[in-house]
Structure 1
């Protein structure tokens, strides 16, 4: 018999459904077993997050700085500006729509306060991290920038090996266990009577984010058309094959050949497109930023936490840098963002689990938004260099 391999998204969906169904009849003793598993996995996540940031961000920054020139600088700044624009656009849109759309006062009790039952794990094992998240970020920036300046390859080789180890941990441990983790979260929420409110909010958030991605792409191509003196609708139409490919692959890297071909059709010189598109596949994350900001705000409102602009402004600016480290795996961006969610927004284990579930449920839309926006950036870069030559 031929084995049927399910992708991460179908497994997450099955885990959510199974958690809801099993939560209706599982006895408390059995539920506590999965709560114990979630406690251990959550502690492991807390331990690995600073190492994940160090192992992914430092080599990523070093690679960006290698052979840095004006084109690299302009492209990186433009990609970062697009990512920041996406984050702040999402914040203000959600700040306007969520209070009346989600109606959280009626849908959820605070996630950390279960009124019906307060089940605890049978046991827990403390796994204190080697360093704090901000310490890890600062160390990663320092090492990354240093490696981009010095000529030595020993530290760079060691960090590349460390990055490979982190990627193995993500692919072989974290990603395979995520469905079980999500199952435990929804099992516990169903058992405590909270799941109906959560699922209703999930559906609304997904619809809001889909509408926002359409608006964001229109704005990006309107800017590109204005700068490049081209029809924005024609530019966007040419990028649709890249959008559809990314929906299927859930990978910016796997979509590069299609994105490159369609970008050239938009009049971008092949040599420029060949530089900008692969680079932006790593550093331009407008769609991922939109999903994380929108989901984080919703979960904070669901949890009864206060949402402040100053708090999110710093989070968005750090997120645009930290996600450069996102590995080329489904859900990689949310893995890189977990540390910031914990340290800057105060997310606990349950909130992080909900973030992972929500993010992966919309992973295709975020990736498609990222790669389509890459085409807009390439058009702008092409116009900048045309202006320099004339």
Structure 2
């Protein structure tokens, strides 16, 4: 018989429910055990964040630079601008709607109880800070791309495998326990019901936004290519639903490629743009992370001015480049700008991880389907060169 696989999303949901239910009656000594685990795991995450940047971004930049030319530059530029625009749209929509949505729930919020302290703490300082890791990744990645350094490229490919294994075998499996501890603590302090009530409303807005993003992407592609945008979008639905089921841009590439060529994109253009955009085009993920980050900033009374979020969006668009190759890669890559630019604590990062994973498949489906729109645009721009 086929072995039943209990995926990450069900485990996260179970952790949230258990944290809320158990938090009402679990004795304080046992609660402090989970608070202690969260303290240690939070230190481990802080240690790993700069290494995640170096391990994912460096080889991604090196790979993208291969065979650089006008086709590459134009495709990367369109994908990045669309990803950034999705973030700006999300921030603008959230700034308009979220204050009233969150404010109406805040009035019923229970005051925080005294913070529960762990039994002990361990300090694990990172080897380098986040910005140093990012700059190092850019310098080394560009040198690998343009100086053709196969030995160094192989070294960072191996390092990426180390980081990917750490994420998939250590961080991801322990996340449910970490999130259980977060919601356990919030339940005891009276915050859990407030946060869930807010998130339920935010998810509705995010779902509508992801549909709107797909509409504007294909309307723009239809105008540029002089094609019916709704027919183009309809042809991409198999890729959308495949991504919805797999939650993987990489696993959906064969379907995306087939449906993109069905939209009239040449095989040579589709064979280039679809795998590339599966790595660099993250409009759905950007929209989700920006919306969730803004919601948490509003709930916690943190700074959320426009310039700060523009800085966050521009940086996040770069750091998510290698995200589709690693399970949970997009939100893991986002932890660094969340902490350094927006000032998120470990608990706030855990909240955004839980909310992101709950909607992971919709973001992936948005990313993948939008790849087809970009391919149509690039095909139109370069059709004379590939005819």
CA distance in 1, matches of 2:326, 2:360: 11
In structure 2, the partner of 1:318 is 315
1:43 matched to 2:65? The reply is no
C-alpha distance in structure 1 between counterparts of 2:109 and 2:65, whole Å: 46
Q: Distance in 2 between matches of 1:265 and 1:101?
A: 42
Q: Deviations along 1:180-230, whole A, 9 cap, x unmatched? A: 001000011011111110110111111110000111110010100000100
CA deviation string 1:280-320 (max 9, x = no partner): 00000000000000000001111111210000001100111
> What pairs up with 1:11-160 in 2 under 5 angstroms?
11-103=11-103, 105-106=106-107, 108=109, 115-160=112-157
Rounded to whole Å, the distance in 2 between the matches of 1:193 and 1:329 is 35
1:333 matched to 2:330: yes
State the 4+ residue runs in structure 1 displaced beyond 6 angstroms. Answer: none
Q: Could you tell me whether the CA contact under 8 Å between 1:56 and 1:327 is conserved in 2?
A: no
Q: CA deviation at 1:2?
A: 6.4
Instruction: Give 1:388 deviation, angstroms.
Output: 5.3
Deviation at 1:108, TM superposition (A): 4.5
Three-state SS of the structure 2 residue aligned to 1:345 is: coil
Q: What does 1:358-377 align with in structure 2 at a 5 Å threshold? A: 358-377=355-374
- Stretches of structure 1 that go unaligned for 5 or more consecutive residues are none
Supply the distance in 1 between the matched residues of 2:95 and 2:149 (Cα, whole angstroms): 48
Tell me the distance in 2 between the aligned counterparts of 1:361 and 1:16.
11
Judge conservation of contact 2:236–2:260 (CA < 8 Å) in 1.
yes
Can you list the C-alpha shifts for 1:210-255, whole angstroms capped at 9, x where unaligned? 0001111100101000001001110101111111000000000000
What's the secondary structure of 2:76's corresponding residue? helix
Q: Is contact 2:249-2:324 (8 Å) kept? A: no
Q: CA deviation at 1:105?
A: 3.4
Q: Distance in 2 between matches of 1:195 and 1:283?
A: 35
**Aligned partners of 2:307 and 2:249: how far apart in 1?**
31
CA contact (8 A) 1:330 1:360 kept: no
Cα separation, 2, equivalents of 1:107 and 1:377: 45
Distance apart, 1:166 and its partner CA: 0.5
Between the aligned partners of 2:235 and 2:145, the Cα distance in structure 1 is 36
Maintained 8 Å contact 1:86/1:290: yes
For 1:322 and 1:120, the matched residues in 2 are separated by 34
Cα distance in structure 2, aligned partners of 1:46 and 1:389 = 47
8 Å CA contact retained: 2:210, 2:366:
yes
Q: How many Å separate the matches in 1 of 2:261 and 2:360?
A: 26
Q: Which residue of 1 aligns with 2:257?
A: 260
Shift of 1:330: 3.6
Instruction: List alignment gaps of at least 5 residues for structure 2.
Output: none
Q: Is the CA contact (8 Å cut-off) linking 1:243 and 1:371 kept in structure 2?
A: yes
Residues 90-239 of structure 1 mapped to structure 2, 5 A cutoff: 90-103=90-103, 105-106=106-107, 108=109, 115-239=112-236
Cα RMSD of the aligned pairs, angstroms, is: 1.4
Tell me the TM-score normalised to structure 1 length: 0.96
Q: How does 1:242-253 map to 2 (within 5 A)?
A: 242-253=239-250
Q: In structure 1, how many angstroms separate the alpha carbons of the residues matched to 2:254 and 2:179?
A: 34
Question: When the two structures are aligned, how many residues end up with a matched partner?
Answer: 386
